[in-house]
Structure 1
């Protein structure tokens, strides 16, 4: 088996998910199995519904039940949604632990740190579960300094201009 590769796309710019999906398409074209788990996008992240057409080569999972993004929910709704999100994170652990795929993308998992649903140590434990998977891709706005030593490839996406508002 190959050595683990951990890759991060982070920053305030747009395109982190798209960059991660590009890695998925490349891997699937090489015959590798790919799983994407999306967090904090709400159930209705329509921009990536087309990925469902790429199954079984690329499998997409969303554990959130709400149509709205987590940060837009009322506190009572957030409490319920928190458990759904944590179920998704636990599923990611199972996928890594069982070697269920060659490439695992945890889209917006770094955002779970920002809102306090998980700790940096949770991601480190996830990374360290196995060392024989091909690639783990993490996305989010912020990359904690403590995670950098566990990551092989870091890409920061910055927004230079956005006059679309």
Structure 2
């Protein structure tokens, strides 16, 4: 049995979610079960396009708003924070019931930035996984205190060439 890895895609650059989705497609090509849980994006085209990849790749978003979290009022943010914590709880359930071979937690690191969850919540997620399950987390900032929970960190940065 292959040992799973915990991988982080982080940094200021664009393309972290696309990279994670590419890894999902690659895993689906190897007949693996993939679950993607998206955070902080609201309901958007990206979520809907992801649903076209079902049944090989199952995509979930627990947010109700069509706008990204950063554009919401304080009241709407509180409501969406509850929804996103439900998404984190769903991730724990997926891991504890062994419903996937690969779990992608898209923009989960942003939940730390907004104070929606704590680093200990991510540590508990990592503890709930079977040894052979791969987890991929994305977000801009990866806190050093979680270094012990991951196997690989890839930083994605954008380099502006000739003002483009």
Q: Same fold (TM over 0.5)?
A: yes
**Structure 1 segments of 4+ aligned residues over 3 angstroms from their partners:** none
Checking the alignment, whether the CA contact within 8 Å between 2:47 and 2:61 is kept in structure 1 is: no
For this pair of structures, how many residues does the alignment match?
Answer: 163
Alignment of 1:39-50 (within 5 A): 39-44=39-44, 46-50=45-49
Corresponding residue of 1:95: 94
Corresponding residue of 1:11: 11
TM-score, normalised via structure 2 length: 0.94
Corresponding residue of 1:145: 144
Alignment of 1:13-162 (within 5 A): 13-44=13-44, 46-161=45-160
Q: Give a deviation string over 1:82-126, Cα, whole Å, max 9, x none.
A: 111111110001001111000000000000000000011110110
Between the aligned partners of 1:141 and 1:135, the Cα distance in structure 2 is: 20
Checking the alignment, whether the CA contact within 8 Å between 1:96 and 1:133 is kept in structure 2 is: no
Shift of 1:48: 4.6
Between the aligned partners of 1:47 and 1:80, the Cα distance in structure 2 is: 22
Checking the alignment, whether the CA contact within 8 Å between 2:95 and 2:130 is kept in structure 1 is: no
Shift of 1:133: 3.5
Q: CA RMSD in A?
A: 1.4
Unaligned runs of 5+ in 2: none
Checking the alignment, whether the CA contact within 8 Å between 1:99 and 1:133 is kept in structure 2 is: no
Checking the alignment, whether the CA contact within 8 Å between 1:63 and 1:88 is kept in structure 2 is: yes
The alignment partner of 2:52 has SS state of helix
Checking the alignment, whether the CA contact within 8 Å between 1:36 and 1:61 is kept in structure 2 is: yes
